[in-house]
Amino acid sequence: MASSIKDPREEVLQAWYMDDSEEDQRLPHHKEPKQFVSLEQLAELGVLSWRLDADNHETDPELKKIREERGYTYMDVCEVCPEKLPNYEEKIKSFFEEHLHTDEEIRFCAAGSGYFDVRDRNDAWIRVWVKKGGMIILPAGIYHRFTLDESNYIKALRFFVGEPIWTPYNRPHDHLPAREEYIKAFVENDVAKQTVDAAA
C-alpha cells in the first residue's frame, strides 16, 4: 500500500518534456501526449528538490538544516514581475537564454510560480514547474533557463555559498571546468552505468 503515498514535493514541483513550439514561453509547452518526468529522474541529472514551508521560511527548521549542510551563508529575495523588476522585458529575455553557472543555482519559491527548463542527457528540454513551497537546486554546469508562467509572478529566495555570483555563461561554454565536471558526474557516469547494466 506504500506505493499510493504521494510524494509531498509533487504538489509544488512538476516536470515534463517540452514540445518544440515557438509559442509564448510562459505556456506549459507539454508534448502531445504529455510526457511527465519524475523527481527521481531529475535527481539523476543532479537537480535536487524539496517541499518547504513558504509562509514560515525564516523559522523553517528544514530550510535551516539544508542551509547549514550545504554551506549557504548568503540569501536574498528576488521578485520577478513587470511591476517589481527593473528592465523587466530585458531581464526576462536574458533569464530565458540558455546558460550555465559555475556554482549551484538555488531557488526557493516563497510565492507565485515559474518554470526552470533543464537539458537532459540527450539535450532535450525538461520543464520544471516550481510553485509556492518548492525549492530546487540546479547543479553547477547544467544548461538551463528560466521564465515566468502565465501568472507572471514569482517571489524567489536565492541562496549562495559565500559571496553571490550572478554570472551566466550562455551556451556554448563546454570548456568551463564546471561543465566538464557536470558531464563527468551526471552524463558519462550514467552512460557507463547503462553499459554495465546491458552487459549484466
Please determine, for residue 195, whether its predicted confidence score (pLDDT) is greater than 80: no
Beta-carbon neighbour count of residue 176 at 10 Å?
16
Average pLDDT, the chain: 93
Q: Return the number of other C-beta atoms located less than 10 Å from residue 143's C-beta.
A: 21
Cell numbers found for residue 27: 505556456
Is 101 annotated among the ligand-binding residues? yes
Give residue-wise pLDDT tens across range 112-155: 999 999 999 999 999 999 999 999 999 999 999 999 999 999 99
* % of the chain residues with pLDDT over 70: 92
Local confidence band at 166 (pLDDT 50, 70, 90 cut-offs): confident
Q: Give the model's pLDDT for residue 63.
A: 97
Residue 175, marked binder: no
Annotated binding residue at 144?
yes
Secondary structure element (H or E) that encloses residue 197, with its range = helix 189-199
Q: Which of 72, 14, 3, 2 is nearest to 38 (CA)?
A: 14
C-alpha cell recorded at residue 126: 525538461
End-to-end CA distance of the chain: 31
Domains by residue range for the chain, with CATH: 7-196 (2.60.120.10)
pLDDT at 6: 86
**Beta bridge partner(s), residue 170:** 99
Closest alpha carbon to 103 in 139, 49, 146, 154 = 139
Residue 182 buriedness (CB in 10 A; 0-12 / 13-18 / 19+): buried
Instruction: Confirm if 81 and 111 have CB atoms less than 8 A apart.
Output: no
Q: What is the mean pLDDT of residues 158-163?
A: 94
- The phi and psi torsions of 177 (rounded to 5 degrees) equal -55, -40
Nearest to 113 by CA among 56, 159, 152, 60: 152
194 confidence band (pLDDT: 50, 70, 90): low
pLDDT of 72 higher than 60:
yes
pLDDT at 168 > cutoff 70: yes
Return d(Cα 79, Cα 77) in angstroms, integer.
7
Given this model, what pLDDT does residue 1 score?
A: 45
Q: What's residue 198's pLDDT?
A: 54
**Average pLDDT of the residues in 171-193:** 89
Residues 6 or more apart whose CB falls under 8 angstroms from that of 123 comprise none
Report the b/e string of 117-134 with b at 16+ CB within 10 A. Answer: bbbbeeeebbbbbbbbbb
Q: For residues 35 and 164, what is the distance between their CA atoms, to the nearest angstrom? A: 35
